Each structure stands twice: as structure tokens, then as C-alpha cells.
Amino acid sequence: MKTGKTALRTDLRARRRALSPEERAARSRAAALAITRLHRFAAGATVAIYVPMHSELDTSLLIASARRRGVRLVLPVVANQRRRALRFYPLVGRMRPGAYGIPEPHRSGRPIGARWLDLVVVPLVGIDRHGHRLGMGGGYYDRAFAFRARRCAWHGPRLIGIAFDCQRVEAIPAERWDLRLDALATESGLTTFAEARR
């Protein structure tokens, strides 16, 4: 019998899959628009974004908008599966399947350190009203941004989840190391989580 986070993931993925292609496209556009209004989503900024898999929210419009504005885009790349290490490489040239079949850019040049990103668009399976994120369960984002919990004043990039409203829940069972987001963009607009950096 499934319990806790596993059961919640199963339920939330089912909710996401239940959206029709037309609903998914329209809601993806609205969520992307909420992010394009952020002041950090501007020319010269370095923004991490993901390429969607399966029923995840479509980020293609966000990627196109970033390119038009002169935003420097980077993608997460699983650099070491055993250590669950995530690195961020510039989105240039053609992509190839990486770990777990996730599309990734060629690893040309040096990766951009997570601390030096301006904005990170974070994928998620679910999120609660406090900004606790439920991911796929690998802990890659938790590890990449764990340094934020050890900072008193500066916390690095702003972490914005992007999802459909149906992925919101009242509470997620969170561990002390689980990543909390600064804000969430959905088809309803942007929600800010004031407690995320404490």
C-alpha cells in the first residue's frame, strides 16, 4: 500500500494527466506569462529552466520569450546520478537525451554555479501553501540549492515553481532538507511564499 509522499505523487500526477491537451496548453501559457512579468526575467539575467517531460507544464513559450528578451538560459543536467548532483549548462545548440531520458544541452564549456543564477524555474509534482515542494523524489534540486539554508542575508537565486493549479495541496510532508520555493506561477498568476527563505 502506498503511503505519504509516494501516494501523493501518484495522485498529483493523475490530476496533471487528466488535463486535456488544450487545457494544458492554455494553462501553460498563463503560467509562463506570470513569470515573464518578474523583474529578474530580463535581458542579461541568467535563468535556469527545464524542458518538460510527459505531462509537466510546457515551458516552450517561456523559453521563446527569454530568447527574445536576451535572457541567458541554462538547463539542469544530472552530472552524477550516484551523488545526485545537478549542474547548469547554457541552452545552446541541439539537445540530447540525458539521465532519465531528460533532454539536456551539450556540456560545452563550464557549468554555471547554482549560486550565480538570477532566477530558477523549478519543476514540481506538487506544492503546498507554505512553498514546500514535492519533486520526483531524487533530491537533485534540494542538494543543488541546499546552500540557501546556510545563508543569513543572501540566499542566491529566486526559486519559482511553475505548475498547474491542480498540483496545489494543503500540506506536503516535508523534511528539514526539502527545498522551499520563493514563489509559484500557475494559470491563476503568481503566489509568493514569504517564509521560504527562513
Residues 179 and 161 sit within 8 Å (Cβ to Cβ): no
Ramachandran sector of residue 6 (left: φ over 0; alpha: ψ -120 to 50; beta: rest): alpha
**What's the count of helices (H) and strands (E) in the chain, helices before strands?**
4, 11
- Tens place of pLDDT for every residue, the chain, 198 residues? 455 889 999 999 999 999 999 999 999 999 999 999 999 999 999 999 999 988 999 999 999 999 999 999 999 998 887 888 899 999 988 888 888 888 888 777 789 999 999 999 999 999 999 999 999 888 899 999 988 877 666 667 999 999 999 999 999 988 877 889 999 999 999 999 975 444
Q: Which residue has cell 510546457?
A: 58
Structural domains present in the chain: 4-192 (3.40.50.10420)
pTM (predicted TM-score): 0.90
Cα–Cα distance for residue pair 59/51, rounded to 1 Å: 7
Which class for 103: exposed (0-12), middle (13-18), buried (19 or more C-beta within 10 A)?
middle
Q: Which residue has cell 506536503?
A: 172
